Structures are given as structure tokens and as C-alpha cells.
Amino acid sequence: MQGLESANAGLAHDQFEIPKAAQPVPKWVPAMTMEGRTSPDGRDANPWKMARRQLSESVDRTSLPDELHARLAICKRELTVKFPARLGDGSVRSFTGFRVQRSISRGPAKGGLRYAPAVSIDEVRARAMWMSWKCALVGLPFGGAKGGVVCDPRTLTLSESERLNRRFATPLSPILGTEIDIPAPDLGTGPQAKAWFMDTLSMHLGHADPGLVTGKPISSGGPEGRAEATGGGIPYCTGWACERLNIPLGTTHVGVQGFANVGASTAKLVAAPGAVSVAVSDIDGGVSNCDQIDINALSDHVRHHGTVGGFPGARAIGTREILHLPCDLLFPAAVEAQITASNARDISSLVIIEGANGPTIPDADHILRERGITVVPDILCSNAGVIVSDSDWVEGSQRFLWSADQVRQQPRQVTSVGFAKMWDHSLEMRTTLREGALDMAIKRVADALAIRGPYP
């Protein structure tokens, strides 16, 4: 991979600022049931069905025994909590939250908490399953977990958010712990939320334990370099994929769906070697300019307006329209189930690099394969967050100090090995990259289950 490293030499070293969403009026959002969940084209897009189908297809390809398939297909522990939190107007609302620990066969459970209106038990189960594959694929010593709260974080004031986080941490505390299950940020949360979580859990313990959560601020024991490292795996994977496919990265046109932690950092980092962003969207809409969108200016715009919409000098587009616009590289970096059987035929990019978890449903994968569109899968290229979480957790639990450079380098080092193995395995087995990545990761978790055996 030496040549690949040089192709990406300038990718991840610039500091950048991540746009923050505006904080408007408080509003409570009712739970959305998974039964009612649909993809953008109106089709059923239950992420848990997607994840289990991916598992079944991998089991068929690799001929894993039925007994192991049955054990891999379930989640070890699931907790649903209803908890009250006081809003700014003095009223008390009840919220629904989840934590799912899918597997602990390779180490403590680990994974982010998502705050969004569409959070549901099935969506959390799916992300927990993908998380366990993600860790196994690159050899991180964690099982998979995920969680979330049904709410719209953009409508919460800072003090409402603090009360919600502390009240959510409390009922989860019996199943969390530095050696048991370690939460991290995900969509709709960030370092401040993790600081409140860590503080609440530490108060229950009676002493400060920075190993309880990852993604906390530097002042609470988080490692320097985390913010820019979180989206860092995606640009590396982009560079390596372009090199393998003989696409000159410096001349590519790029579309980015989702423009915050992961999407904004991706757009900035791929701009360093010369990729030009021509379309960007977020939950409220999108903008396109076939010449170029200035990503730094767009970040400033989002900081002031809370959305990419209304960015001067660009054409307004719909949130989903971005998926069909002509570009070389498409980065889905928002939510799952965006690329479906209905819109996969309209996608005109050469390569899709998945920053979000589960943005492509299995039916769409088959169409993209037929059409010769390469998909660099989420379980590899969106794993910088958990790689940095590993450094964060080691620093917190062992009082070990990394330098910012070590933290920034870690995603590149770990991901480069995983990328090369995934690519070569997929070529050898004649699978897509996702199939290759899943087969390697699932086999690793299956081996861990088999060698430990059932207790007693």
C-alpha cells in the first residue's frame, strides 16, 4: 500500500471547523414506529431487515453453520427506557431511548448514541450489528452496540439537552461501564453530550472515569485530534479507491449528502488533493453549482443559518435530488436507506463512498453492481470514528496520553490494512467490496463465537 499512502499524503492534516446547527424553539417529537418507516422512494427500508439480509447472504457465500448464523443474527441485550425530562417552559415530557448490545464476543460493547426523530429499536439493532462488523473488519477489540433517543435535537435548547442527556444516562447506567459498554457520539450528538454523560455516570460511581464514554471534549479527557480524525477514514478510502480504479482524484467532481460531523469533514478533506464539491445537501435541502462550491464558505454559511440552503451562488436542490446529480464521487454521509432499488438506476456517479451507516439497501447494491458502480462500504470507510474511539478509550481507561498526531494517524494506519485486504479478497472471491468486507468481518466474529463456545 505504499503507493496508496503517497496518493493521500495531503488528505487529513488540515484543521477544519465543523458547522453547528442552529438552536431554535423547543419541540418534542413523538416516536416513529419502525413499521411506518420508508425509504425516500416510499419502499420499506427497515434497517434491521437490511442488516439481517446482509448477514444471511454472507452466511450463504461463506457456508457458515446454521447454529452460528442463528447466534450471529440476534442481539445479546436490548434495553428500552421511557424517561422524563423538563423542558424550558417548565413542562415535563416523556422520551423514549434505546441501548442495544449486539455482541461482546470480541470485547466490550461499543457504539454511538443517535438523537433523531426516526430512532427506533430496529434502526438501533441494525447499527449495532454493523458496528460489530466494523470493529471486527479492522481488528478492534470491541463488540457492537448502539443506542439513541427519539427526539429532534435541533429543537432543544442547551439546558434542555443537558437535562435530557443526564436523564437518559441514568436508566442506562446499569448496563454501561468502561469494561462493559462504552457509548460514543452519533448523528445529532457531540462532545458536550458525551461530557454530560460521563459526568452523570461518574457521579453514580462516586469517582471520575474518563473511560466511560468516548467522543468527550479534550478538557474532559478526550484525545486531541479526534474531531478531525472522525471523518478521516473516508478521504483515505477515497484516495485508495481512486488509485485502484485509475481515477485521478484531483480532477473529480463530488456530491455530499449530509453536511456536519462526517459530511463536512469529508468535503474539506477531499478538497485538499483537488476534488471539487459540486453538490451538498442536508436534512432541509441542498445546493448545487457545477463549477464549484466553496466548502469553507459553505461551512460559514451553515454556522450562521443552520443549513446549506440559501448558500449564495448555488442552485437550490431537494434533499434527495443530490443522489441523481452527475458527479464522479458520491458521499452519502447522512442517514441509512437513502440509495434504494428505485433510485439506484438514476445514480450517475462512478464511485459511492459510504460515510453514513447503511445508506444503501441490499436491492440497490445488486443494481449498482450490474451498472458497474463501485461502492466502498460503510463498515470500512466510516470506521474512523470507532478507531479514534479506541484511542480515546485507551487514554481514558489506562490514563495513557496520545499525541494529536498519533490520534490523527491511527485511522489511516488501521484502515489502510483493512482496505487492502477487503479489495484483494473481493477481487479473489469475485464479490462486491461490501460482500468481501462483510464476509471477512462476519467470519471473524463467528470464529470468536465458535472458539469461546457457549457458556457453560
Q: How many residues bind ligand NAD (CB under 6 A)?
A: 24
Q: Which is nearer to ligand NAD, 96 or 307 (CB)?
A: 307
Please, what is the Cα angle at 49 between 420 and 185, to 5 degrees?
65
Under the binding rule (CB under 6 A), the answer on residue 230 touching ligand NAD is: yes
Amino acid identity, position 47: P
State which of positions 257-296 bind ligand NAD (CB under 6 A).
257-263, 281-283
Q: Which is nearer to ligand NAD, 276 or 302 (CB)?
A: 302
In the set 110, 134, 146, 216, the catalytic residue is 146
- Cα 234 to Cα 377: distance, rounded to the nearest angstrom: 10
Burial class (CB in 10 A: 0-12, 13-18, 19+), 194: buried
Q: Which is nearer to ligand NAD, 237 or 335 (CB)?
A: 335
Least separation in angstroms between residue 308's CB and ligand NAD is 8
Could you tell me which stretch among 29-37, 58-66, 183-191, 369-377 binds ligand NAD (CB under 6 A)? 183-191
**β-bridge mates for residue 177, sequence order:** 181
Could you tell me which stretch among 181-189, 193-201, 245-253, 310-318 binds ligand NAD (CB under 6 A)? 181-189
76 assigned to active site: no
Q: Which is nearer to ligand NAD, 174 or 318 (CB)?
A: 318
Least separation in angstroms between residue 283's CB and ligand NAD is 3
Helix and strand numbers, DSSP H then E, in the chain? 15, 12
- Three-class DSSP category at 326: coil
Could you tell me which stretch among 6-14, 82-90, 94-102, 253-261 binds ligand NAD (CB under 6 A)? 253-261
Could you tell me which stretch among 57-65, 92-100, 186-194, 339-347 binds ligand NAD (CB under 6 A)? 186-194
Using CB under 6 A, pick the residue from 187, 193, 229, 364 that binds ligand NAD: 187
Q: Which is nearer to ligand NAD, 174 or 310 (CB)?
A: 310
State which of positions 367-396 bind ligand NAD (CB under 6 A).
382, 385
Least separation in angstroms between residue 454's CB and ligand NAD is 32
Least separation in angstroms between residue 407's CB and ligand NAD is 13
Neighbours of 228 (CB within 10 A): 23
Could you tell me which stretch among 182-190, 205-213, 290-298, 368-376 binds ligand NAD (CB under 6 A)? 182-190
Q: Which is nearer to ligand NAD, 217 or 447 (CB)?
A: 217
Look at strands 253-257 and 77-86 and give their pairing: unpaired
Q: Which is nearer to ligand NAD, 324 or 446 (CB)?
A: 324
- Cα 330 to Cα 400: distance, rounded to the nearest angstrom: 38
Question: How does DSSP assign 163-198, residue by residue?
Answer: HHHHHHHHHHGGG-BTTTEEEEE-TT--HHHHHHHH
Least separation in angstroms between residue 262's CB and ligand NAD is 4
Beta carbons within 8 Å of 24's beta carbon, 6+ residues apart: 154, 155, 306
Measured in whole angstroms, how far is the alpha carbon of residue 24 from the centre of its chain? 25
Least separation in angstroms between residue 117's CB and ligand NAD is 9
Least separation in angstroms between residue 61's CB and ligand NAD is 25
* Residue 122 cell numbers, joined: 430496529
- Contact by Cβ (8 Å): 269, 11: yes
Backbone angles phi, psi at 449, to 5 degrees: -65, -45
- Contact by Cβ (8 Å): 259, 281: yes
Helix (H) or strand (E) holding 95: strand 92-103
- Cα 335 to Cα 312: distance, rounded to the nearest angstrom: 26
Total residue count of the chain as it appears in this document:
456
State which of positions 319-358 bind ligand NAD (CB under 6 A).
319, 333-335, 355-357
- The residue ranges that bind ligand NAD (CB under 6 A) are 185-188, 230, 257-263, 281-283, 319, 333-335, 355-357, 382, 385
Could you give the residue numbers annotated as active site? 146
